[in-house]
């Protein structure tokens, strides 16, 4: 099992800021289930989205043979918000910095039955 960070800037963002308890649980779940997690982005000062409030983090996707399958597996067990089914906890995308898996939570996020490790 391996948990690493991209560089010292990401490490500082992981240590300097508080993260939502459900995001901490989701990242821990990913570590246990996936065996390898490389954090590429954490808290972003000035970000008005989930990266700016401790509810979002990015992990490297190319360490997985099939990143979309990994994303689907995460979303199978983690529900972002039952009242907003169009939103997901994991999104495999490229927002301009290269493909990665974006993880996010909100207060309503739940781990489904059978997702417990």
> Which phi and psi angles does 96 have, rounded to 5°?
110, -10
Say which CATH class 2-111 falls into.
alpha beta
Matching residue, tokens 């999104």: 91
- Determine the Cα–Cα distance for residues 7 and 27; give it in Å rounded to an integer: 18
Tell me the per-residue pLDDT of 65-92, one tens digit each, with 9 for 90 and over. Answer: 999 999 999 999 999 999 999 999 999 9
Q: Structure pTM?
A: 0.92
pLDDT (0 to 100) of residue 5: 94
Nearest residue to 112 (alpha-carbon basis) of 74, 58, 70: 74
For 14, what's the count of Cα atoms within 13 Å in the CB-facing half-sphere?
A: 19
Taking CA atoms, 49 is separated from 25, 69, 79, in Å, by: 20, 25, 19
Tell me the per-residue pLDDT of 15-65, one tens digit each, with 9 for 90 and over. Answer: 999 999 999 999 999 999 998 999 999 888 888 889 888 999 999 999 999
> Which phi and psi angles does 24 have, rounded to 5°?
-60, -45
């Amino acid at each position: 099992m391996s948990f690493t960070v991209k560089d010292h800037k990401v490490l500082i963002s992981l240590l300097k800021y508080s993260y939502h308890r459900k995001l901490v649980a989701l990242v821990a779940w990913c570590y246990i289930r996936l065996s390898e997690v490389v954090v590429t982005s954490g808290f972003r000062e000035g970000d008005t989205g989930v990266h700016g409030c401790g509810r979002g983090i990015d992990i490297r996707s190319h360490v997985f043979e099939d990143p979309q399958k990994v994303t689907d597996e995460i979303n199978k067990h983690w529900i972002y918000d039952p009242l907003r089914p169009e939103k997901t906890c994991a999104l495999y995308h490229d927002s301009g910095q290269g493909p990665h898996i974006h993880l996010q939570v909100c207060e309503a996020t739940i781990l489904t039955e059978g997702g417990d490790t």
